[in-house]
Structure 1
Amino acid sequence: MFENDALRLLVAVAECGSFTQAATRLNYTQSAVSRRIASLEQQAGGPLFDRLPRGVRLNPAGRSLHRHATEVLERLVRAERELAVLHAGDGGLLHVGAFATANISLVPGALRSLRDTRPGVEVVASEGPTGNLMGRLANGALDLAVVSDYPSGLPPADGVTTTVLCEDELRVALPRGHRLAGSGRFDLRELRDEAWLQSAYGDRPTMLADACARAGFSPRKVVRIAEWTGKFGYVAAGLGVALVPSLAAGAVPETLVLCGLTDPALRRTVHVALPASPLPAALELLRLLRVAAGSPPPA
Structure 2
Amino acid sequence: MAEYDKWDIRKLEILRTLRERGTVTATAQALMMTPSAVSQQLTNLAKQLDVTLLEAQGRRVRLTDAAELVLRHAEAVFEQLERADAELTAYAHGEVGEVRVGAFSTAVPALVVPAVRALRAARPGISVQVREAEAAEAYELLGAGVVDLALSLAAQAPSAADSRFTRVPLLADPLDLALPHGHALAGAPVVRLADFAAESWIFGGSGPWSDITRGACEAAGFSPHQGHSAAGWTAILAMVEAGMGVALVPRMAAVRREGVVMRELAGERPHRHVVAAVRRGAEEGAAVGRVLEALGEVAAGLGR
Q: Distance in 2 between matches of 1:157 and 1:12?
A: 51
Counterpart amino acid of 1:225?
Answer: A
Unmatched tracts of structure 2, length 5 or more? 12-40, 49-80
Deviation, 1:102, is: 1.6
**One of 220, 227, 230 as aligned partner of 1:222:** 227
CA deviation map 1:152-198 (0-9, x unaligned) = 87475433212222211111111222111123543323212222221
Unmatched tracts of structure 1, length 5 or more? 1-9, 14-21, 34-76
**One of 107, 110, 119 as aligned partner of 2:112:** 107
Q: Distance in 1 between matches of 2:8 and 2:156?
A: 65
1:258-297 pair list within 5 angstroms: 258-262=262-266, 264=268, 266-275=270-279, 276-278=281-283, 279-294=285-300
Instruction: Give the corresponding residue for 2:176.
Output: 171
Deviation, 1:223, is: 0.9
Q: Say if 2:2 is the partner of 1:11.
A: yes
Counterpart amino acid of 2:276?
Answer: V
Aligned residue for 2:268, secondary structure, equals coil
Task: Answer whether contact 1:130 1:154 (CA < 8 A) is retained.
Answer: no
> How many aligned residue pairs are there?
230
Task: Answer whether contact 1:96 1:126 (CA < 8 A) is retained.
Answer: yes
Structure 1 pair 228–204 and aligned structure 2 pair: CA distance change class (3 A): closer
Higher mean alpha-carbon deviation, 254-263 vs 200-209, is at: 200-209
Aligned residue for 2:213, secondary structure, equals helix
Counterpart amino acid of 2:118?
Answer: S
CA deviation map 1:38-94 (0-9, x unaligned) = xxxxxxxxxxxxxxxxxxxxxxxxxxxxxxxxxxxxxxx9xx899836544333421
Task: Answer whether contact 2:203 2:210 (CA < 8 A) is retained.
Answer: no
Q: Distance in 1 between matches of 2:207 and 2:171?
A: 29
Q: Say if 2:132 is the partner of 1:141.
A: no
Deviation, 1:141, is: 2.1
Instruction: Give the corresponding residue for 2:261.
Output: 257
Task: Answer whether contact 1:232 1:252 (CA < 8 A) is retained.
Answer: no
Q: Distance in 2 between matches of 1:12 and 1:195?
A: 81
Deviation, 1:125, is: 0.5
Instruction: Give the corresponding residue for 1:50.
Output: none
CA deviation map 1:248-274 (0-9, x unaligned) = 23x232432211234637212222223
1:43-54 pair list within 5 angstroms: none
Task: Answer whether contact 1:99 1:130 (CA < 8 A) is retained.
Answer: yes
Counterpart amino acid of 2:257?
Answer: P
Percent identity, aligned pairs only, is 31
Aligned residue for 1:291, secondary structure, equals helix
**One of 86, 95, 104 as aligned partner of 1:90:** 95
Task: Answer whether contact 2:157 2:275 (CA < 8 A) is retained.
Answer: no
Deviation, 1:133, is: 2.6
Task: Answer whether contact 2:173 2:272 (CA < 8 A) is retained.
Answer: yes
Q: Distance in 2 between matches of 1:264 and 1:83?
A: 50
**One of 228, 231, 234 as aligned partner of 2:236:** 231
Task: Answer whether contact 1:101 1:245 (CA < 8 A) is retained.
Answer: no
Counterpart amino acid of 1:192?
Answer: A
Q: Distance in 2 between matches of 1:253 and 1:183?
A: 19
Aligned residue for 1:107, secondary structure, equals helix
